[in-house]
A and B are shown apart, each in its own frame.
Chain A
Amino acid sequence: MQRRTFLKTTAAAVTATAFTGLGPAFALDNVVKEAGECKIQWSKQTTSICAFCSVGCGLVVHANKSTGRVVNVEGNSDHPINRGSLCAKGASSIQMTVNADRPTKCMYRAPYSDSFEVKDWEWCKKRIAKLIKKSRDESFEKKNADGNVVNRTMGIASLGSAALDNEECYAMHSFMRSLGLVYVEHQARI
């Protein structure tokens, strides 16, 4: 079927979801204030790559020179792929980082508890390392059922992540394999 015939024979689409309006978290006076901070003389620019899909659009990130905090993220007009343009997600990138709902502390939920409690990283690190060691030591198989050497940890699964940078992926691979994990999977599988 040709596109034209399709359009002729069907009614108009129901949901035109135009990208309209700004959320309540973005009152107009804030816009004016932040626009001022975006002036190049007040901000430091760094480049980045959109953290959503794999087109890999280039971004320019502006941080306020005096506070060091990010005030704007926009498309990089020099970038050969996107030439400055971004889709709705890429254009909203700043909300991924500058967002009041982002937790800034480690949280811990004890077995059978009905809530998280804030804990510091040092405490979590010690506790998690202990748990990893216990699970590993208890489930480590030196040989499989056929008597072949396998040197693997059967009691821990690792899931993730395509959200990591390449260097972090390499670090994660090295770490997980050094622990003897064989159940190592992530988004690419699913």
Chain B
Amino acid sequence: MTNHWNDLQNSDCILIMGSNPAENHPISFKWVTKAQRAGAKVIHVDPRFTRTSARSDMYAALRSGTDIAVLGGMINYILQNKKYFTEYMVEYTNASFIVGEDFDFKDGLFTGFDPATRSYDKSKWSFELDSKGNPKQDKSLAHPRSVFQIMKKHYGRYTLDKVSSMSGVSVQDLKELYELYAATGTAKKAGTIMYAMGWTQHSVGVQNIRAMAIIQLMLGNMGVAGGGVNALRGECNVQGSTDYALLYHILPGYLKTPLAGQDTLEQYNKAFTPVSNDPKSANWWSNYPKYSASLIKAMYENDDPKDAYNYLPRLDSHKASQYSWLPLIDRMADGKFSGALIWGMNPACSGSDSEKTRKALGKLDWMVNVNLFTCETSDFWKGPNMDPKSVKTETFFLPCASAIEKEGSVSNSGRWMQWRYKAQEPQDGVLTDGHYFHELWEELVHLYEEEGGVYPEPITHLTFNRMCEADENGKYHFSAQQTARLCNGWFTRDVEVKGKKFKKGQQVPSFAYLQDDGSTTSGNWLYCNSYTDEGNKAERHDSTQTEEQARIGLYPNWTWCWPVNRRIIYNRASCDPKGNPWNPEKAVIKWNGEKWIGDVPDGGWAPGTKHPFIMLKHGMGQLFGPGRVDGPLPEYYEPLECPVETHAFSKQLHNPTAVHFEDEEKAVADERFPFVASTYRVTEHWQTGSMTRWMSWLVETEPQMFVEISPQLAKLRGFENGEKVVVESVRGSLWAIAMVTDRIQPYKIAGKEVHMVGMPWHYGWVTPKDGGDSANLVTPNVGDPNTGIPEYKAFMVNVRKWKEGDA
């Protein structure tokens, strides 16, 4: 989230698309309905009528996977009807930038596409530069190659009729939706978006969000109270675990994993440090070398970062098709891993195509699974279609402490880093995850010292004990407090920075003081300022706020928020170039003639001296985004499994760069699998249910796998409500109880009736008895080319009656 949960109350129009917060983020809805009581319009656009729709002022049903049609249509409506916020768009976005002559778009493809590698040469989408190396601009927006004019041409194709024919939303509903939301394109109105996996889990996931970001920038909704682009994260610390880079492509704080050929720290830094010649561009990533050196120093405190850089493994590329989840499981299925450490996860149910995943686990020599309860992953070797006697995988299950049996912090969707305390000791024999990591590391150091082995230095030099506290016998134990101190960072020697003197061992006050020479540590620069000499700010429970802060509910003294306790990111864009808030009633920051007051500003520079989007090289919001692998503008493509052979926007049926495996069959307009399917969550269960299926109160409320089916489809197939049916796809099948409901209605797509079914993905064979199995038995191994996220939200199935002998 660029904003935070309490901030929803400040909105004038809340678009909920790609999420169902009333059921999946229930307490957030407190703030949605608060805004609504104050006059805000709430709009829900979703394939399925849910409790969120029931509370909304407007509901529109779209076919799953057609969001870019609907959003592209909205961009077109805003442009045609001049609903954009002109001053904001001209001053703060790249609408006026001139795109180079190489750029073009034809038949659903941008220039630079190479069919052999299914990838683009992104240099074809570059901006035209002036003599100083800055993008040329035309603030009149008239230049035919200006971003503004290119967008007009591109989205002019997204007519109401075409959008309606692909999405199934009526022309009348589209008009109402566009009018309601575009009304926020003025200085005094803010519109916000609440999205979740309903947008990300598509082969065009990133472009779904890009499309909305474009709308928010055109309407001047970024940086303001009640605005922003707000991802509703699914897990209590999935924000933090991403910030801390448990992902192939990043290191903590969104630094990049090193690539082959970057032989020195200097080469690595150079590759990832952007350069801008525009004095008005803060270009914050120019600080990259300070953050990388401080991270390496946090890991290897006794080494020079230049040397310790060599301890970091290097990848061949950052391609999602090479290292992300889908290719990882594919590689496991090919027997290319001998071991796997599976921590607080249940991939046997959570990954797409569960059958493939479960079989892949059987190709390992060994596997460690750490969880609160046993699950389909720890027990995979005795699951359906498995004969334990033929499964080699040596398997360990390690029980871990629960969230209230240890201390530590979690970061919510609004980036609030919140401390949790230990309420009770874990049972004997149960350790925290942190203790498991540390003790395994100690044992490995011991083994390498005793037996030698391949390149042991990265392990033996790791200063893991700096994350620990020593007991009276001098034995080190993992300590969350010590680790939080290290993640913030400390000075490793006496130094003077920006005229301030610091002693060795002192905490670094904020990332502005981090250094590139090894004199500072910081396990994650984004968290620098969370644990200073004042103490651990994630522990703060102080509700006091100034009058301005209270007006929009900023709560700056309640816990802590990254970066540097800034509650609303890009807040410089909430003011005009003179520092006056666009909406003084709900000011986020304001220039008082000497300094900014309100929220922590995006840099203290005087108004008008720096562009507002400080993390971007040119400082301007990117309507035209030449950095994504599948195009600089969102374009409509069908999901990789879809009910149609052609679509209204181009000849290019699918995202040409999507991650998929050539040898795996896909159902495209395939009469064997005629129904669109989507997966989702219910309030009473969580993710694969690996915890909630063991909680009797929750199981009693949602005991069993079901599939939501429209009355029309039930009639077509002769199903009764409550009957056991089979859902099957190219990949597999599972049984589910038919829930016949008006909440799902057939769509009219290109003149034809198309049915959809929806399923929760919380179940698994381990428990409860007769609960059913994972919906991921039928989901596809295809995904977004930028992120690699699987397309769980739109794929094709058949539903039929259950008979004896079916799974």
Residues of A bordering B, CB below 8 Å: 1-3, 6-7, 10-11, 13-15, 17-26, 44, 46-59, 61-63, 68-70, 73, 78, 80-83, 85-90, 92-93, 95-97, 99, 101-116, 120-121, 124-140, 142, 144, 146, 148-190
Determine the distance from Cα of A184 to Cα of B339 in the docked complex, in whole angstroms: 13
The 6 lowest CB-CB distance pairs between A and B, nearest first, are: A56-B412, A165-B408, A23-B696, A160-B343, A161-B344, A163-B344
Do A166 and B684 touch (CB < 8 A)?
A: no
Question: What number of residue pairs across chains A and B have CB atoms under 8 A from each other?
Answer: 526
Are the C-beta atoms of B328 and A157 separated by less than 8 Å?
yes
Against A, the Cβ 8 Å flags (1 = close, 0 = not) of B669-695 are 000000000000001111100011011
Using A53-B686, A88-B684 as known contacts, say yes or no to A129 and B241 having CB atoms under 8 A apart: no
Min CB distance A135 to B, Å, is 4
Q: Which of B247, B299, B373 contacts A185 (CB 8 A)?
A: B247
Whether the pair A47, B483 counts as a contact (CB closer than 8 A) is no
- Shortest CB distance A114–B (Å): 4
Evaluate contact between A111 and B236: CB separation under 8 angstroms.
no
Known interface pairs A25-B696, A63-B423, A151-B310; 19 further A-B residue pairs with C-beta atoms within 8 A, sorted by A's residue number = A58-B418, A88-B684, A95-B696, A101-B767, A108-B394, A112-B389, A124-B396, A146-B261, A151-B313, A151-B314, A157-B328, A157-B339, A158-B341, A163-B236, A164-B343, A165-B420, A186-B246, A189-B324, A189-B325
By a CB distance below 8 angstroms, the chain A residues around B388 are 112-115
CB of B136, distance to nearest CB on chain A (Å)? 37
Contacts of B787 in A (CB 8 A): 189
Bound form: Cα–Cα A33–B342 in Å:
39
Expressed in whole angstroms, the Cα–Cα distance for A130 and B443 within the complex equals 9
> Which residues on the B side are within 8 Å of A148 (C-beta)?
260-261, 263, 314
> Are B373 and A159 closer than 8 Å at their CB atoms?
no
Secondary structure type dominating chain B contacts:
mixed
Contact: A111 with B393, CB < 8 Å? Answer: yes
Closest A residue to B315 by CB, please name it: A182
Residues in chain B near residue A136, CB distance under 8 A: 453-454
Kindly state whether residue B57 has any CB partner on chain A within 8 Å: yes
Tell me the complex Cα distance, A146–B453, Å: 24
Closest to A51 in B: B403
Contact assessment for A17 and B702 in the assembled complex, using a CB-CB cutoff below 8 Å:
yes
By the criterion CB–CB under 8 Å, are B54 and A3 in contact?
yes
Question: Is there an interface contact between A14 and B238, defined as CB atoms closer than 8 Å?
Answer: no
CB-CB < 8 A to B373: which residues of A? 99, 101-103
B117: chain A residues at CB < 8 Å are none
Say if the beta carbon of B441 comes within 8 Å of chain A. yes
What chain A residues lie within 8 Å of B119 (beta carbons)?
A: none
CB of B650 to closest CB in A, whole Å: 29
CA distance A19 to B696 in the complex (A): 12
26 contacts between A and B (CB under 8 A): A1-B61, A55-B5, A56-B414, A80-B543, A89-B698, A96-B403, A97-B404, A105-B429, A127-B396, A128-B366, A129-B443, A131-B366, A133-B453, A134-B338, A155-B337, A157-B339, A161-B345, A162-B236, A165-B406, A165-B433, A171-B433, A173-B244, A182-B257, A187-B687, A189-B787, A190-B790
Q: Which residues does chain A contribute within 8 Å of B402, judged by CB atoms?
A: 51, 96-97
Query: Nearest Cβ in chain B — how far from A100, in angstroms?
Result: 9
Which of chain B's residues 493-537 have a Cβ closer than 8 Å to chain A?
523-524, 527
Interchain CB contact under 8 A, B404 and A73: yes
Min CB distance A23 to B, Å, is 3
Question: Does B573 sit within 8 A of A, measured CB to CB?
Answer: no
Given that A3-B56, A50-B236 are contacting pairs, would A144 and B316 also be in contact in the complex, using a CB cutoff of 8 Å?
A: yes
- Which A residues are CB-close (under 8 A) to B328? 157, 159, 183, 185
Pairwise interchain contact B392-A10, C-beta atoms closer than 8 A:
no
Answer whether residue B312 sits at the interface, using C-beta atoms and an 8 A cutoff.
yes
CB distance from B254 to the nearest CB of A (A): 12
User: A80 contacts B244, CB within 8 Å?
Assistant: no
Report the minimal beta-carbon distance from B466 to chain A, rounded to whole angstroms: 10
Given contacts A68-B425, A171-B483, contact A151 B311 (CB under 8 A): yes
Determine how close the nearest CB of chain A comes to the CB of B280; give it in whole angstroms. Answer: 34
Binds A, one of B100-108, B183-191, B617-625, B740-748: B740-748
Known: A14-B721, A48-B404, A172-B437. A6 touches B59 (CB 8 A): yes
Nearest chain B CB to A80 CB, angstrom units: 5
Q: Bits for B273-290, please: 1 = Cβ < 8 Å to A, else 0.
A: 000000000000000000
Q: How far is the CA of A3 from the CA of B52 in the complex (A)?
A: 11
> Is A190 within 8 A of B30, CB to CB?
no
Which of B21-29, B155-163, B595-603 interfaces with chain A? B21-29
- Chain B residues in 8 Å Cβ range of A49: 236, 403, 410, 412, 418, 420
Identify the interface centre among A101, A161, A177: most chain B CB within 10 Å of its CB. A161
- Tell me if B754 is interfacial: C-beta within 8 Å of chain A: no
Contact A54 B233, CB 8 Å, known A1-B60, A166-B410, A175-B441 = yes
Please give the distance in Å from A50's CB to the nearest CB on chain B: 6
- What A residues does B345 contact at CB under 8 A? 159-161, 163, 186-187
- State whether A22 and B324 are in contact (beta carbons under 8 Å apart), knowing that A14-B740, A49-B418, A112-B388 are contacts in the complex: no
> Which residue of A13, A104, A176 is within 8 Å of B743 (Cβ)?
A13
Partner of B686, one of A52, A78, A81: A52
A123 to B735, CA, bound (A): 41
A110 proximity list for chain B (CB < 8 A): 394
CA distance A39 to B196 in the complex (A): 39
Within 8 A of A (CB), among B361-388: 365-366, 368, 370, 372-374, 378, 381-382, 388
Decide yes or no: A135 and B484 within 8 Å by CB, A19-B701, A87-B26, A140-B454 being known contacts: no
B463 to chain A, nearest CB (A): 9
B563 CB to nearest chain A CB (Å): 14
**A152 interface neighbour in B25, B313, B418, B431, Cβ under 8 Å:** B313
Q: Does B424 contact A (CB under 8 A)?
A: yes
> Beta-carbon contacts of B463-505 to A below 8 Å, as 1s and 0s?
0100100000000001010011011000000000000000000
Also in contact, A155 and B339, with CB within 8 A (given A51-B403, A95-B695, A146-B260): yes
A160 touches B337 (CB 8 A): no
Q: Return A168 CB to nearest CB of chain B, in Å.
A: 5
Q: A114-B388, A129-B443 are in contact. Are A137 and B454 (CB under 8 A)?
A: yes
Q: List the A residue with the shortest CB-CB distance to B430.
A: A104
Q: A54-B239, A95-B696 are in contact. Are A85 and B701 (CB under 8 A)?
A: no
Query: Is B417 at the interface (CB under 8 A from chain A)?
Result: yes
Contact of B696 among A3, A26, A114, A121 (CB under 8 A): A26
Q: Which residues from 320 to 372 on chain B have a C-beta closer than 8 Å to any C-beta of chain A? A: 323-325, 328, 331-332, 336-345, 347, 350-352, 365-366, 368, 370, 372
Output the least CB separation between B776 and chain A (Å): 9
Distance between Cα atoms of A133 and B242 in the complex (Å): 27
